[in-house]
Copies of this chain bind each other. A is one copy, B any other.
């Protein structure tokens, strides 16, 4: 891949992000002092388009980046933009004087939403290492049973369920599969796994499985690390035209906290700030948005994820820098008390 082509792609991405409209060959050479003529740029653009990095909304319009184009930009072209002094100060003053975990999370959401001017999502930190040691079931009579969740810390939680005559074998089988899937996971992870469990599991006894999974979800729901807080939703109104279809699916997703939990988990499993661009998102209603996520926290016993959702046409360098900075700061802040 040509150096100049990369430069052109970078120019297209930055220009499109800031100008909000398709960018043509002429303005490109003007604004970015590429020392070639528009015609040359056009040739390169044709190649870039053929390779799927850019596209034109219609003939006789400029080019806009595709998801693949953004991806290349994020991976190889984006120069990390350091935070402004004002932003650094904002982070500090915003977090100073936070009272408790609740308050920290609330403030973090506001902070993220405010700086990035996008929708912010913050998962509650898991303060104690709550690892699942096992799922038990105790049949009380023909109709009722107990679902019991045991944590490695020794904590035990239970919930009664209706089993309506399911056989002992089915119950044992289900329990076995649940244990296989859940043991060793944190509450938050378990929540994510359960969100997909019903689809994967062979429906030997679909009703029973649903009931048990629901009970487990309710138990896990009591764990703070399965909670997420969303803020900055009004920022979506700046992009009402961007999302190809409508905002509705996006808004709906933002109320599905289990889904958000899963997406955050998927995205930020790999240490540093991670980006999911458009179609890369596994969750279909968000495929016209991008997710920038990171884990945060300090030490093994206190960590969780946070992130930002916005249009694919997003200022990735800034957003990524902000998410990273906030994640680090909040992590340190929690560590200190």
* Residue ranges of A at the interface with B (Cβ–Cβ < 8 Å): 99, 103, 218, 221-222, 231-234, 236-237, 240, 246-248, 251-252, 254-255
Q: Is the CB of B234 within 8 A of A248?
A: yes
Q: Is the CB of A255 within 8 A of B237?
A: no
A252 → B minimal CB distance (Å): 4
Q: Is the CB of B233 within 8 A of A233?
A: yes
Q: Is the CB of B218 within 8 A of A99?
A: yes
Across the interface, A254 reaches (CB within 8 A) one of B218, B221, B233, B240, namely: B233
* B residues less than 8 Å from A233 (CB atoms): 233, 251, 254-255
* B residues less than 8 Å from A234 (CB atoms): 248, 251-252, 255
* B residues less than 8 Å from A251 (CB atoms): 233-234, 236-237
A interface majority secondary structure: helix
Q: Across the two chains, which residue of chain B brings its CB closest to A248?
A: B237
* B residues less than 8 Å from A248 (CB atoms): 234, 237
Copies of this chain assembled into the complex: 2
A162 → B minimal CB distance (Å): 10
Q: List 15 A-B contacts (CB under 8 A).
A: A99-B218, A99-B222, A103-B221, A231-B255, A232-B255, A233-B233, A233-B251, A233-B254, A233-B255, A234-B248, A234-B251, A234-B255, A236-B251, A237-B246, A240-B240
A305 → B minimal CB distance (Å): 21
Q: Across the two chains, which residue of chain B brings its CB closest to A100?
A: B222
Separation of A247 and B247 alpha carbons in the complex (Å): 12
* B residues less than 8 Å from A255 (CB atoms): 231-234
Separation of A58 and B251 alpha carbons in the complex (Å): 34
Q: Across the two chains, which residue of chain B brings its CB closest to A98?
A: B218
Q: Which 8 A-B pairs have the closest CB atoms?
A: A234-B251, A237-B248, A234-B252, A233-B251, A234-B248, A237-B247, A237-B246, A237-B251
Separation of A252 and B238 alpha carbons in the complex (Å): 12
* B residues less than 8 Å from A252 (CB atoms): 234
* B residues less than 8 Å from A246 (CB atoms): 237
Q: Across the two chains, which residue of chain B brings its CB closest to A240?
A: B240
Separation of A263 and B277 alpha carbons in the complex (Å): 39
Q: Across the two chains, which residue of chain B brings its CB closest to A233?
A: B251
A135 → B minimal CB distance (Å): 18
Separation of A248 and B231 alpha carbons in the complex (Å): 14
* B residues less than 8 Å from A103 (CB atoms): 218, 221
Separation of A247 and B233 alpha carbons in the complex (Å): 11
Separation of A236 and B250 alpha carbons in the complex (Å): 12
Q: Across the two chains, which residue of chain B brings its CB closest to A238?
A: B248
